[in-house]
Amino acid sequence: MLQWVEMALAQEIQNHYGLTHYLLAAVCLYQQFYAHALEHIEETKNSYGSLHLEDQEPWSPSPSPRFSLEFGLKLNENGYSGDYAVAALSGHCLLALDRQKEAKEEYEHVLQSFSRPEDVHMVYVNCARVLESMEDRQTARKLMLLACKYSPTPYTWFKTGQLAEECFTESNYEDNRCAEVWAYLALVNLKLSRINEAELCYRQAVRHKLKCPGLTDLVEDEFKKIQIQKP
């Protein structure tokens, strides 16, 4: 099937040079020919001009509501803008080649783009993976939460729980007398089906006089759900 797609795209390369190379790069990604995919991506970038981000704001975890469903290869006087599709594809290939720093730069281009859709699921997930490996777990958790917001999957919720646990564990290490932290650790362990650990954490929360009724109710409701699920 992919060979047929390559043959069809080869017929179009003279008419739509940049877009055809982008699509050929996507084919190479699926075939796991990552270096070859990057060559096609470079041709796409050369076709549409240099990457310019002067009109973009630094990325924050609250994405811009503006989006486009096009491939993101629109020309303007500065080069090509709204290049999220090209940058995302490049980031995926670089990550597959374990070139994490370069992949992070490409993913940041996507997150800074005004024309990208709000839901760029694989960019959120893969960029979070890179940031986690670089010890930036706080930003990684925010990206995973965005992935959960727009396209939740078992994996994104699991990773969010793991990253949250690390944050609460670090907070607990700094001050192990904070009842709210113990309660949140209990909640995380419940979500990860670690019942014994959850019970130990909740005992510590009660011991340190947890005074947040909403949080108490939330943890106790989760315990009740597990009791109901037991055979």
Q: Quick check: 208 pLDDT over 80?
A: yes
pLDDT given for residue 29 in this prediction: 94
Average pLDDT over residues 109-129: 91
Q: Quick check: 229 pLDDT over 70?
A: no
> What is the band of 4 on the pLDDT scale with cuts at 50, 70, 90?
low
User: Are 183 and 216 spatial neighbours (Cβ–Cβ below 8 Å)?
Assistant: yes
User: Are 155 and 185 spatial neighbours (Cβ–Cβ below 8 Å)?
Assistant: no
Cα-Cα-Cα-Cα dihedral of 74, 80, 82, 88, to 10°?
Answer: 110
> What is the band of 161 on the pLDDT scale with cuts at 50, 70, 90?
confident
| Token pair belonging to 197 | 């650990």
Average pLDDT over residues 188-198: 88
Q: Quick check: 203 pLDDT over 90?
A: yes
Give the integer Cα–Cα distance in Å for 219 and 198. Answer: 9
Percent of the chain with pLDDT over 70: 77
pLDDT given for residue 80 in this prediction: 42
> What is the band of 41 on the pLDDT scale with cuts at 50, 70, 90?
very high
Q: Quick check: 66 pLDDT over 50?
A: no
Q: Quick check: 196 pLDDT over 70?
A: yes
List, for residues 132-150, the tens digit of each pLDDT value: 999 898 899 899 999 998 9
Percent of the chain with pLDDT over 90: 43
Q: Quick check: 73 pLDDT over 50?
A: no
pLDDT given for residue 104 in this prediction: 96
Q: Quick check: 116 pLDDT over 50?
A: yes
Give the integer Cα–Cα distance in Å for 101 and 134. Answer: 9
Q: Quick check: 67 pLDDT over 90?
A: no
Q: Considering just the CA atoms, what is the radius of gyration of the chain in Å?
A: 22
